[in-house]
């Protein structure tokens, strides 16, 4: 009974999401169609219209891109990886974007082993999304601190920025599909990250203060390698 309810709740969420995505994609598609019709009527190329069309296409691309990770759960394979390696690769990957926005990334990693069972590409997606948000929260530049520590049962990754922060209202709505305060935002990054962290039995905590900054903490469960090998044989 309980399981049934959970399943139908899930279906409901997926249904809502699908409706939301369809809606979000229909808007730029309508614009694209309108501008293409104009081109057809005038029979000459208007570069301003072409630019609008390209940016609408880019928007569709962004929305679809953020969903790709969620769309192929069957391809997910958990392996043992050290979270410090994952984060350092993501840091390197994001460093040019950070540099372009006058943002420096400082990190402080524990010496302890931080291997956890995980889907590496999905976790990378999570930390790319979180670092992007941190960079975007500091339009004048600033510093991002990444701290990795090993607790008794979890690995903790903490990302702190010195950005615009969030008020109570924003904190309440963060993670709702399509909730964004950005002109070019999709409002999908946090939701996608939360889904991935949930699938790793982890947790995401947020604390924020307007004009001071935001800390996002991701907790991922540690598991003994032996136990993990047993569990994966099931």
* Residue 175 found at the interface with Mg ion (CB under 5 A): no
Q: Which is nearer to ligand ADP, 61 or 227 (CB)?
A: 61
Compute the least distance from the CB of residue 58 to ligand ADP, in Å. Answer: 14
Rounded CA-CA distance 30/200 in Å is 38
Compute the least distance from the CB of residue 144 to ligand ADP, in Å. Answer: 9
Tokens of 228: 């993990």
Q: Which is nearer to Mg ion, 176 or 225 (CB)?
A: 176
Rounded CA-CA distance 162/185 in Å is 20
Q: Do residues 32 and 56 make contact, with C-beta atoms less than 8 angstroms apart?
A: yes
Compute the least distance from the CB of residue 225 to ligand ADP, in Å. Answer: 33
- Position with the least CB separation from ligand ADP: 189
CB neighbour list of residue 166: distance below 8 Å, 6 or more residues apart: 174, 206, 208, 210, 214
Compute the least distance from the CB of residue 190 to ligand ADP, in Å. Answer: 3
* Residue 189 found at the interface with Mg ion (CB under 5 A): yes
CB neighbour list of residue 16: distance below 8 Å, 6 or more residues apart: 177
Q: Which is nearer to Mg ion, 28 or 189 (CB)?
A: 189
* Residue 193 found at the interface with Mg ion (CB under 5 A): no
CB neighbour list of residue 20: distance below 8 Å, 6 or more residues apart: 177, 178
Which range of residues in 13-21, 26-34, 125-133, 211-219 is near Mg ion by CB under 5 A?
Answer: 125-133
């Amino acid at each position: 009974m309980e399981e049934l309810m959970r399943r139908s709740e899930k279906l409901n969420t997926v249904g809502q999401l699908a409706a939301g995505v369809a809606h979000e994609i229909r808007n730029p598609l309508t614009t694209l169609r309108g501008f293409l019709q104009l081109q057809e009527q005038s029979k000459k190329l208007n570069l301003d219209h072409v630019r609008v069309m390209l940016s609408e296409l880019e928007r569709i691309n962004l929305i679809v891109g953020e969903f790709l990770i969620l769309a192929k759960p069957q391809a997910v394979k958990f392996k043992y990886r050290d979270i410090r390696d994952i984060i350092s690769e993501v840091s390197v990957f994001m460093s040019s974007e950070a540099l372009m926005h006058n943002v420096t990334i400082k990190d402080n990693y524990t010496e302890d082993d931080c291997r956890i069972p995980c889907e590496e590409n999905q976790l990378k997606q999570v930390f790319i999304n979180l670092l992007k948000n941190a960079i975007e929260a500091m339009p004048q530049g600033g510093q991002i601190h990444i701290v990795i520590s090993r607790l008794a049962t979890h690995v903790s990754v903490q990302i702190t920025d010195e950005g615009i922060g969030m008020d109570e209202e924003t904190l309440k709505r963060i993670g709702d599909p399509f909730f964004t305060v950005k002109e070019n935002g999709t409002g999908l990054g946090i939701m996608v990250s939360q889904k991935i962290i949930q699938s790793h039995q982890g947790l995401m905590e947020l604390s924020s203060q307007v004009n001071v900054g935001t800390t996002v903490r991701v907790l991922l469960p540690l598991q003994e390698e032996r136990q993990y090998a047993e569990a994966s044989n099931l």
